[in-house]
Structure 1
Amino acid sequence: MPEDEKLSETIRELYAIVNQLERDYNKHDRRFTLDGHLLGSIGEVYAAERYGIELAKSSSERHDGTTTDERKRDVQIKVTQRRSIGLSSEPAYLLVLKIDENGSFKEVFNGPGNIVWELVKNKRPPKNGQYQISLSKLRTLNDNIAPDDRI
């Protein structure tokens, strides 16, 4: 098979997967597009299912959803495959997940957002508006989160 046909076939497979994700998780009102939003949408749906979060409209400014428990905590959800995440504002609560290529999620940080925001709030804003925070630093902070302060 010529390379361009092979690439076209792979792209069709990706679109089939995206369409399946949208059918399977349409109750969460998320679009799964083949761009930078795909991983974020996957992570938000995972968090909604796993942690009991009702998702806000896509691209909400500070929070991706609200917990469905009696505390109704606003949560920013970040998912990455890299070694850091970007934050542009202080969330009430922050849930950071890392996804690996076998499809498993690892919780990196789960707690009040002000703890993480303290790391960057006095720094000069980056050109893109996203402060980068390493997963290793988030793991260290996460070790000290009380169970009652977790989502």
Structure 2
Amino acid sequence: MLEFDLPPAIADLVAARNKLRDYYKAVGLKFTLDGNLVGDLGEAIAVELFGLRLAEARSTAGIDGRSPDGRTVQVKATGTGSGPAFRQTEAKAQHLLFFDLDFERAKGLVVFNGPEHIAVAALPAVFSGQRSLTKGQIRAADARVADSDRLRRVDIGG
């Protein structure tokens, strides 16, 4: 797995969140980074690290953008150390990037970088709602990815 520093703009956001959390610690507010924000941060990281071109029509469920070589890509991210969650979608991406973001250390890990079908093979073919892979399942799937099938890091930002 590839560890990376969070891009400066994201690190600044985390530092501001930590300052808020420390200030309001006595009243118990945690200012958790979750949900759509973590997903957007994952897409921003994919743009910076792998040159992803985000889809113009943000309505294509299951496809977030295209890699520099033209592959469709879905991006998943967690800030809790859990595995990625999936929904049934009509469109299936050719590639999946999954990041585990450690907001305390302002670091991230590329946990999965490979063909999406390898990652979702552990899921039922048909399901309703949302299904998640465990940390172990997504890491085992990444171990099955050939180096030639991984997106190359480009580091366009910074």
- TM-score (normalizing by structure 2): 0.65
Larger Rg: 1
**Deviation of the 1:46 alpha carbon:** 0.9
Identity %: 31
Q: Which residue is 2:42 aligned to?
A: 43
SS in 1 for 2:97: strand
Q: Which residue is 2:97 aligned to?
A: 95
Q: Which has the higher contact order (CA 8 A, sep 6+)?
A: 2
The one-letter amino acid of 2:101's match is: I
Q: Which residue is 1:72 aligned to?
A: 70
SS in 1 for 2:75: strand
SS in 2 for 1:83: coil
Q: Which residue is 1:23 aligned to?
A: none
Gaps of 5+ in 1: 1-12, 15-33
The one-letter amino acid of 1:61's match is: A
Judged with a 3 Å threshold, the aligned counterparts in structure 2 of structure 1 residues 35 and 114 are, in CA distance, closer, same or farther, namely closer
Greater share of residues in helix: 1
SS in 2 for 1:75: strand
**Deviation of the 1:42 alpha carbon:** 1.1
2:123 to 120, 125, 129: 120
Alpha-carbon RMSD: 2.2
Following TM superposition, the consecutive aligned residue runs of length 4 or more in structure 1 with deviations greater than 3 angstroms are: 57-60
